[in-house]
Amino acid sequence: MITVTETAVRPAPQQRGGVAQSVGDSLVVAKRNLIRMTRIPEMVIFGLIQPVMFVVLFSYVFGGSMVVDGSTSPQEYREFLMAGIFAQTVTFATAGAGAGIADDMHKGLIDRFRSLPMARGAVLTGRTLADLVQTALTLVVLAVVALLVGWRIHEGVPKAIAAFGLLLLLGYAFSWIGALIGLSVRTPEAATSGGLIWLFPVTFISNAFVPTEGMTPWIRHIAEWNPFSATVQACRELFGNPGVVDSPAWPMRHPVWASILFSLVILIVFRTLAVRKYRSATA
């Protein structure tokens, strides 16, 4: 007697579209990097210590010697300073992003990702999203420290949230510069050095730590058209902090729109370059 058994035919898994696959793969890579951060807590701790040190040192060392809106009050300078420290913190995270990608390249992890059926840009997008989460956590801690040293917001919570949104947008845009640097060098050490070399002039030739009125005219012109300065100016305006200058430069007159525009241009340009570099580097 012959018994015929019927086997159920399982439907083939539904293929996701290009955008859906890219988003899903990016979130998986981001989750992987966030789990890695929790297993190496010193990465987060050291990332928090540096900006806190900047707040304390700048506030109490330079607080009584800076003139802001005609006043030498330490309280005035602390409120002036914090937008610059916030912006510096989100941009300095760029060096860590570049070093992380360079480390993954050096260890061959990127080659393993290439063997999987996943979107090419997802590796970089997932990494930058994980760095964005870490940056947001750092900003929360930094805001608490700022409140403890005397910083205050004067334009309400919604505008303060909008200011932090601009900061995160700037940090995310700059993280793609770090990604491009990380893909362009051979070691994590070189990525860290390369990530800091250009960050120092960007953050210090700006309105972050001193008013631009006392600068040499040509330096002031550069500082006021610096995308970093636009975000700092926008945050001071939204926080209601001192130091909002009346300047003929367009980014200083319309800082919120300038911050959004500059950040989006940086994001689009450097994401395109980084993904192209990733494809050529792993081809």
Question: Is 20 within the bounds of a domain?
Answer: no
Mean pLDDT for 3-9 is 47
DSSP 8-state symbol, 68? B
Alpha carbon distance 83, 53 (integer Å): 15
Residue 227 is part of which domain span? 26-281
Reported as a pLDDT band with limits 50, 70 and 90, residue 170 is very high
Give the residue-averaged pLDDT of 158-170. 95
Give the per-residue SS3 of the chain: CCCCCCCCCCCCCCCCCHHHHHHHHHHHHHHHHHHHHHHCHHHHHHHHHHHHHHHHHHHHHCCCCCCECCECCHHHHHHHHHHHHHHHHHHHHHHHHHHHHHHHHHHCHHHHHHCCCCCCCHHHHHHHHHHHHHHHHHHHHHHHHHHHCCCCCCCCHHHHHHHHHHHHHHHHHHHHHHHHHHHHCCCHHHHHHHHHHCHHHHHHCCCCCCCHHHCCHHHHHHHHCCHHHHHHHHHHHHHCCCCCCCCCCHHHHCHHHHHHHHHHHHHHHHHHHHHHHHHHHCC
pTM metric for this prediction: 0.84
Of 239, 28, 178, 250, nearest to 117 by C-alpha is: 28
| Domain contains 11 | no
pLDDT digits (tens, 9 = 90+) for 32-72: 877 877 777 777 777 778 778 878 777 777 666 666 666 66
Tell me if 265 is assigned to some domain: yes
In a domain, 277, yes or no: yes
153/116 Cα distance (integer angstroms) = 48
Instruction: Report yes or no: 182 and 191 within 8 Å, Cβ to Cβ.
Output: yes
The more confidently predicted of residues 6 and 121 is 121
Domain annotation covers residue 121: yes
Q: What is the mean pLDDT of residues 84-93?
A: 89
**Burial group, residue 11, by CB count within 10 angstroms (0-12, 13-18, 19+):** exposed
Question: How many Cβ atoms from other residues are within 10 Å of residue 229's Cβ?
Answer: 29
Instruction: With respect to residue 192, please indicate whether it lies within any of the assigned structural domains.
Output: yes
Domain contains 4:
no
Mean pLDDT of the chain: 81
Over residues 127-148, the pLDDT tens digits come to 888 889 888 988 998 998 888 8
> Given this model, what pLDDT does residue 78 score?
83
Instruction: Tell me the pLDDT tens digit for each residue of 208-262.
Output: 888 888 888 999 999 999 999 999 999 999 998 887 777 889 999 999 999 999 9
pLDDT band of 115, cuts 50, 70, 90 = low
pLDDT band at 20 (very low <50, low <70, confident <90, very high): confident
| Cβ neighbours, 10 Å, residue 140 | 11
Which has the minimum average pLDDT: 21-35, 80-94, 249-263? Answer: 21-35
**Tokens of residue 151, six digits:** 């910083």
Task: Give percent helix, percent strand, percent coil of the chain, each to the nearest 5.
Answer: 75, 0, 25
Q: Mean per-residue pLDDT for 120-124?
A: 78
* Residues contacting 254, CB < 8 A, separation 6+: none
Asked, for residue 211, whether it belongs to a domain, the answer is yes
Domain count, the chain: 1
Q: Are 271 and 108 in contact, with CB atoms under 8 Å apart?
A: no
Q: Which of 47, 58, 50, 60 is nearest to 84 (CA)?
A: 58
